[in-house]
Amino acid sequence: MALSFCGSNKCISNESISNKCVNAYSVDEGVLNNGCFVDALNLVPHVFLLFITFPILFIGWGSQSSKVQIHHNTWLHFPGHNLRWILTFSLLFVHVCEFAEGIVSNQNMDHLHLYMPAFMGFIAATTSVVYYHNIETSNFPKLLLVLFIYWVLAFITKSIKLWKYAEYNVGPQYLRFCITALLVILYALLMAVEMNVIRVRKYVFFTNPPKVKPPEDLQDLGVRFLQPFVNLLSKATYWWMNPLIIGAHKRPIELKKIGKLPIAMRALTNYLRLKDAYEDQRVKDPCRPPSIWRSMYRAFGRPILLSSTFRYLADLLGFAGPLCILGIVKHLKDVYFGVHFMSSSMLLQNTSVLAVLLFLALVLQRTFLQASYYVTIETGINLRGALLAMIYNKILRLSTSNMSMGEMTLGQINNLVAIETNQLMWFLFLCPNLWAMPVQIVMGVILLYYFLGFSALVGASVIVLLAPIQYLVATKLADTQKSTLEYSTDRLKKTTEILKGIKLLKLYAWENIFCDSVEETRGKELTSLKTFALYTSISIFMNTAIPIAAVLVTFVMHHLIDKTDPSPSEAFAALALFHILVTPLFLLSTVVRFAVKALVRLVCVKSCYCLNVLSALNGSSYFSVFVQVANGFFTWGSNLSTLSDINIRIPTGQLTMIVGQVGCGKSSLLLAMLGEMQTIEGSLNYSLFLTSAATNLKNRHSVAYAAQKSWLLNATVEENITFGSPFSKQRYKAVIDACSLQPDIDLLPFGDQTEIGERGINLSGGQRQRICVARALYQNTNIVFLDDPFSALDIHLSDHLMQEGILKFLEDDKRTVVLVTHKLQYLIHADWIIAMKDGSVLREGTLKDIQTHDIELYDHWKTLMNKQDQDLEKEEEEEEDDDNLSTTTNRRSKIPWKVCWCYLSSGGYFMVFLMVFSKLLKHSVIVAIDYWLALWTSSKTSGTSPTDSISSSRTTLTSETLDSYYLPVFIILCAAGITLCLITSLSVEFLGLSAATSLHHNLLNKIIHAPIRFFDITPLGQILNRFSADTNIIDQHIPPTLESLTRSTLLCLSAIGVISSITPAFLVALVPLAVAFYFIQKYFRVASKDLQDLDDSTQLPLLCHFSETAEGLTTIRAFRHEARFKQRMLELTDTNNTAYLFLSAANRWLEVRTDYLGAVIVLTAAGASIWSLRYGLPSGGLVGLGLTYALTVTNYLNWVVRNLADLEVQMSAVKKVKSFLSTESENYEGSMDTSQVPENWPQDGEIKIQDLCARYDPMLKPVLKHVNAYIKPGQKVGICGRTGSGKSSLSLAFFNMVDIFEGKIVIDGIDICKLPLQTLRSRLSIILQDPVLFSGSIRFNLDPERTCSDDRLWEALEIAQLKNMVKALPGGIDAVVTEGGENFSVGQRQLFCLARAFVRKSSIFIMDEATASIDMATENILQKVVMTAFADRTVVTIAHRVHTILTADLVIVMKRGNILEYDRPETLLEQADGMFASFVKADM
């Protein structure tokens, strides 16, 4: 057969419809009346375009090879950019249809003119868009003229063709007419787009064309998130992400790489948008309170509508799958038509055309679906940014009473930031589903009815009737999760307390009591988790079993009602529809639940918005007084006034001191002056005019403030001191010297550039306090408030700070200083003194005034001053900081199979076997059900039995025999499938639960019994993370991910197996597809892990910044640094949002690619089936089965990769927990048996220390070297020495808390190293330097073992001077102690610790600097008590203040781990050049 453009000469039914035998090239009836010539004319524009553009493109690319890698700042969209892309894609689609119609309608394949112009048109349209893209990126619009000429020419030639068709009465009933008309419209529209570009850009026909700049974002090279700026194709396929994702394989993605957000997506932009919408409501309707919902809709409604439109389009296109399957299976006998004109319906009966249509529909559906997801995610992130900014602004204005009265706790703030805003963001993600799903369900049911009639409605009703049960299960799940969360919060609170007080628990041998308490709460949590696992498995079971049940009911009903069985085409179209229907019905319950949750969350956000805020302070015009309070009554929120009848004045440029006993309201008075307390009545005025410093440009409105509880930022030492002020080297050095911080800074690994704060290196209390004071000194403010800056400092440091810092540095600056202190020896330096008592002012004036007017008070002060202490620095055992956190793992890791096995084996081998076996069986049964259905329906159409053995024995079977043969087996298989669905879902969930149980139990026991050194070198936050975030992942996230991964993997494998067995030809195409899939998942997993890490690591600083701000509110407001902190919050939010956006864009990148791969699988499966049919291979039913399975692959391919990536990230939690399980425990056994230790040991309290050498760890140097001492029963011993001399280490050695590697300590004749630890530690008593209280009751804190009578407890409280205070509390001895004992002052907490030690009637009592945080009056009482109540006990005091051990029987002076002096204090004082004598001298 000769191939020619117009075909050979023969009789054809051509344009003129009448039959004639003519020469194909004849133009006798006019040139335009020869159809072949008209088609040839249509080739001209395409050839013209290719002829002109190819040289431009190649020369352009050749001469500017950099053009291809053009920098994104030249992305510039010409007007009508998106419309042009949409029209071009439509044009390509129509050309494909034209090509298909030409080929199908040309029987002998010899008329090139029927499909050649279509083919060339397709190439020209593709070239036009490539050409346009290059012109746009290089911003050279003049070259667009070529395209304009092309559209005009194409429009003219196609119009001639259409006009000729109309002339010959070829109307819309013919497909070719419709296609030509469409092409004319598309060319006309593209011509209009081109004219619009000329009109706007004036690049031709106009004199001076305007210069156009790229958008502001693109001029900023830091903006790397290009989704809003790239062309439509790149937007749809996330092509611009390729360099990032592929590059991640070579080197990790860092913050620098992902850059900044475009302006429109930044938190500030969105906050202003939300705020404007909120304020507009207030303006329009002042009577009604503004609704936050309406504000959200007005600010972010439009993108949600756009996303919903995409979603509707995707859902409608989803139904093309079942319809095409119906068509392909129905028309499997290929028909070719001998005519050149064919109707549209004829084309749609061609299986190859349907296969291509199915492929295009799938590609479009998935593109729209991903676009819908992306738009909602972007909107959700914008909303979250706006809400975070709104909450932060509110927090900055919260009154301190909201925080202190517990109306707004740190936990609530963290919840608002981490959970509530994320829940609202998730709600937005799911929003389009709310209205798209019902439409999808209705459409699905209508189509089912169309395929199978009434029986389909019965099947669909099964799905619909079970939906409420799914909703019920979903709500139950939510409730269970709530109770689980309560238990886990409770467990975490207890674990935190244990870890914070671990030293005390070990010293008192109480770790098992507290461990049991955690295990008890964990038990409740696990019961709740069991219920959660049960409901989750029911939910998964219903999701997998409902389609099987629906199919079963449908086909059994069809058999009973219609007495006929469906054809394969109907059966498999219905099957595909059921698969489509289950997803929306299953998700609808989740979405509704989320919507309800979002409403609740919004109430939380709104309630935060309604909390009290602070009012501004008054300014007045006193000249000599800086602050004045007249008749002031102040409160922390309840109406009871904390401070009453306050009349004070703070003189300008002078030093004012506030003194008084513990808990008398000194700190409250400072905060009241800062405006942090609520004023009931009276006035508080600040002077706004300064007499002497009016010319001085100091920051007039802010107050430099150092709080009692030191507050540091997670930043470097330098940033903490400068606190946002400009850096001045000279001033910085002066401040560092005044606070004697230089020696401390020299010890830090990176000097003053070392990170400190919550996540940084742990500093001692004294260092933290001095940094806070340095911050107050460095700021250039008129007024400085210092709240007890000496409390954590020893006498040398206190004196230095007083002389150099306060008296010299601040007074030289003529600054007004208000100082709260217990150190009465400094009163002589005060210009003005305010003495407080019980919340009111006792006296006010200079020291001289008080000396003359209140002799009693002055004498009281004098006696306290004379007993002044010689402080020794608190001992901080300087440990080398093991920076565990900085070890970076190898990020190019493979899937952690070892860790997966560790997790699975924790769940028990039987459960692992059950899960694997039931999963494999279930999927085999599901395949068997569908295969059986294919055989059943095929047998009906062919009238023969499917299997060869049967067909050989009897060729024809009656319908009844067939049904009696197929129906029972079908029912049995379905029942087996449903049962197995339940077993698999239960096995996975309960495997996860038993793994979680054993991992947590082992982790808790390992950590609580770890040596004390472990807690010194492991940051508390790191340990807590294992119990919070990691345990939560193991409890709740790994099981569903594991279930989803195994299910989707097995579904994909079974689908590929089924298709390959039906059409072996498919295997040829499978190889390249598998290779493509391998590379996609390989690149994605690495990039996803990096982006996930970035998202996590940028979320932490944001959460820390919120909690940091809440903790340091008073400081931030005193300094007036709100704006700086706001700016920092916006930056942190944007950084986190950038990471999250890139992560979601990467997910879209993956899904688009796997979806397209799935579409190719469907196309190849359909193509292979159609091709195989020519060789008579599969039956129609089996083709339907293959295509149905191919459609499911598109849904599950991306789940395989996503779940694999998720599991990889989640398994790191197991890995971290596993790393702690290898921690060595303390040796609790000892060589002696408990029964060998006398009941009342130690009875006398005799201590012999023989050649003792001890260290904290075998790897470290000894802290005690060859120490020898003998302490007689009942002796009072004082131990003193400078920092690091080994005082505290010696006290720990008594409890065997350090590694004693030489020598021994013998107490009452028994070597303590031989004793079981529990026995040793439970028989001694100690009071630590830092008071530790646990939440619970006072009784629980004194006696957690519940062994003492009430009388004994009251006696202990009386000894500790607390009896009256406790009696006054509601509940008395059972009164509540809040977390960390925050409802008592530090001094009171220390007294409770003393009472706790008295309760344990031990003959040996150790006090480790126990009086450091008590005022002197209380300390004197204590000393008396120790001498009387402990007259018969051995007391070892580690001294902080030397005068406390002057009355001791024996004094031991230590230096560098050795005993330097050892004798009675009187004897030691006689050695004038001795160390002890020098300490006491310094004290006088």
Residue 269 pLDDT: 92
Least confident of 401-405, 951-955, 1243-1247: 951-955
Residue 123 pLDDT greater than 90, yes or no: yes
Question: What's the pLDDT tens digit per position in 1163-1220?
Answer: 888 888 887 776 666 666 677 788 888 888 877 887 888 888 888 888 888 888 888 8
Other CB atoms within 10 A of residue 153 CB: 18
The pLDDT-based confidence of 593 (bands split at 50, 70, 90) is: low
Residue 1436 pLDDT: 86
Phi and psi, residue 230, nearest 5°: -85, 170
Helix%, strand%, coil% for the chain, nearest 5? 65, 10, 25
Residue 1096 pLDDT: 81
Residue 612 pLDDT: 61
Helix (H, G, I), strand (E, B) or coil at 823: coil
Question: What's the pLDDT tens digit per position in 200-242?
Answer: 887 777 777 777 777 777 777 778 888 888 888 888 888 888 8
User: What is the average pLDDT value for the chain, to the nearest integer?
Assistant: 79
Residue, of 946 and 922, whose pLDDT is higher: 922
Measured CA to CA, the distance from residue 337 to residue 346 in angstroms comes to 9
Residue 892 pLDDT: 47
Other CB atoms within 10 A of residue 795 CB: 22
Residue 827 tokens read as: 């009163």
Cβ-Cβ contacts under 8 Å for 460 (sequence gap 6 or more)? 444, 445, 448, 550, 581
Instruction: Looking at mean pLDDT, say which of 420-429, 790-799, 820-829, 1474-1483 comes out highest.
Output: 820-829
Query: Which residues, listed in sequence order, are joined to residue 1428 by a DSSP beta bridge?
Result: none
Asked if 1150 and 1080 count as a contact pair (C-beta separation under 8 A), the reply is yes
Residue 245 pLDDT greater than 60, yes or no: yes
pTM of the prediction?
A: 0.76
Residue 757 pLDDT greater than 70, yes or no: no
Least confident of 56-70, 154-168, 815-829: 56-70
Residue 698 pLDDT: 44
Residue 610 pLDDT: 63
Least confident of 654-663, 720-729, 1167-1176: 1167-1176
Residue 405 pLDDT: 52
The pLDDT-based confidence of 155 (bands split at 50, 70, 90) is: very high
Residue 963 pLDDT greater than 70, yes or no: no
Task: Tell me the H-state helices in 78-174.
Answer: 81-105, 116-138, 145-167
Residue 75 pLDDT: 66
Residue 1242 pLDDT greater than 50, yes or no: yes
- How large is the average pLDDT for residues 1455-1459? 82
Phi and psi, residue 790, nearest 5°: -100, -5
Residue 300 pLDDT greater than 80, yes or no: yes
> What letters, b where the CB count within 10 A reaches 16 and e where it falls short, cover 400-422?
bbbbeeeebeeebbeebbeebbb
The pLDDT-based confidence of 646 (bands split at 50, 70, 90) is: confident
Residue 949 pLDDT: 34
* 1032: nearest Cα among 422, 491, 421: 491
The pLDDT-based confidence of 1134 (bands split at 50, 70, 90) is: very high
Measured CA to CA, the distance from residue 65 to residue 52 in angstroms comes to 20
* 962: nearest Cα among 984, 942, 983: 942
DSSP for 1420-1481, written as a single string: HHHHHHHHHHTTTSEEEEE-SBGGGGTT-SEEEEEETTEEEEEE-HHHHHH-TTSHHHHHHH
Query: Which residues, listed in sequence order, are joined to residue 510 by a DSSP beta bridge?
Result: none
The pLDDT-based confidence of 888 (bands split at 50, 70, 90) is: very low
Residue 14 pLDDT: 45
Residue 152 pLDDT: 93
Residue 181 pLDDT: 92
Residue 759 pLDDT greater than 60, yes or no: no
Beta-strand ranges (E) seen in 197-334 are none
Beta-strand ranges (E) seen in 827-984 are 832-837, 840-845
Asked if 1350 and 1384 count as a contact pair (C-beta separation under 8 A), the reply is no
Question: What's the pLDDT tens digit per position in 1028-1043?
Answer: 778 888 888 888 888 8
Question: What's the pLDDT tens digit per position in 779-791?
Answer: 888 888 888 888 7
Residue 410 pLDDT: 65
Residue 59 tokens read as: 């020369």
Question: What's the pLDDT tens digit per position in 365-402?
Answer: 889 999 998 999 999 899 889 988 988 888 888 776 66
The pLDDT-based confidence of 1138 (bands split at 50, 70, 90) is: very high
Asked if 767 and 744 count as a contact pair (C-beta separation under 8 A), the reply is yes
CA dihedral 1196, 1197, 1203, 1204 (to 10 degrees): 150
Residue 877 pLDDT greater than 50, yes or no: no
Residue 185 pLDDT greater than 90, yes or no: yes
Residue 150 pLDDT greater than 80, yes or no: yes
Cβ-Cβ contacts under 8 Å for 547 (sequence gap 6 or more)? 463, 578, 579, 582
Residue, of 942 and 1061, whose pLDDT is higher: 1061
Which pairing describes strands 643-651 and 781-787: parallel, antiparallel, or unpaired?
Answer: unpaired
Residue 99 pLDDT: 86
- How large is the average pLDDT for residues 350-368? 86
Q: What is the DSSP letter of 761?
A: B
Residue 107 pLDDT: 62
